[in-house]
Each structure stands twice: as C-alpha cells, then as structure tokens.
Amino acid sequence: MDKSDLEQMGYLRLPEVLKLFPVCRSSWWAGIKLQMYPRPIKLGKRAIGWRKSDIIKLLQNPESSHFQ
C-alpha cells in the first residue's frame, strides 16, 4: 500500500458526495437503485457513507461505472 492508497481510504457522507458529483438527492438514490452509483456502507446505527475509492472511480469514468 502506498500514499495514494491511503489518501483514497475512508468514507464520504452524502452532502460531500453530492458536492463532488452534482446530482440531486433523488437522482442519486435512483442511480443506486439502478446500480449506476455505489451502494452506501453502514457506518453506525444511524449513519451511512460511501467509500472514497468508489466515488473516485465514479468521477474518473462516470459513463462506464456499474456498481453491484
């Protein structure tokens, strides 16, 4: 594991994700349902987030991203 791997580790909450990938909340959730966007990870009892690495992958190639 190198420095770039460490920078990609971690999670983003929905407001942070939507700043990077500007779609409305309902479009984001619809995209998750259609497997166009990554599914959230449960971080706690009432918290979810997305892996930074998944969001970076989506930003680098938004047309070919297909998450399951």
Q: Provide the pLDDT for residue 10.
A: 92
Number of neighbours of residue 58 by Cβ within 10 angstroms: 20
In contact, 66 and 36? CB cutoff 8 Å: yes
Output the CA torsion sign for 16, 67, 42, 54. negative
What contacts 57, CB < 8 A, 6 or more positions away? 65
CA-CA distance, 55 to 21, in Å (whole number)?
Answer: 8
64 vs 58, more confident: 58
Average pLDDT over residues 61-67: 76
**Over residues 20-41, mean pLDDT:** 95
Q: What is the 8-class DSSP label of residue 16?
A: H
